[in-house]
Amino acid sequence: MNMTFAPSTAPTSGTNAPCNGSQEFSPVPAAADGLRCDVTRKFVRIKQVRADGLVCFEFAIGWPELFVDLMLPQAAFDDFCVQQHVQRLSD
Task: Dump pLDDT digits (tens) for 13-60.
Answer: 454 444 555 555 555 545 545 678 899 999 999 999 999 999 999 999
pLDDT for position 36: 84
Write out the DSSP string of 18-73: ---S-S-EE-S-SSTT-----TT-EEEEEEEE-TTSEEEEEEEES-TTSEEEEEEE
Domains and CATH numbers, the chain: 1-6+38-91 (3.30.420)
DSSP state of 87: E
Asked if pLDDT for residue 3 goes beyond 60, the answer is no
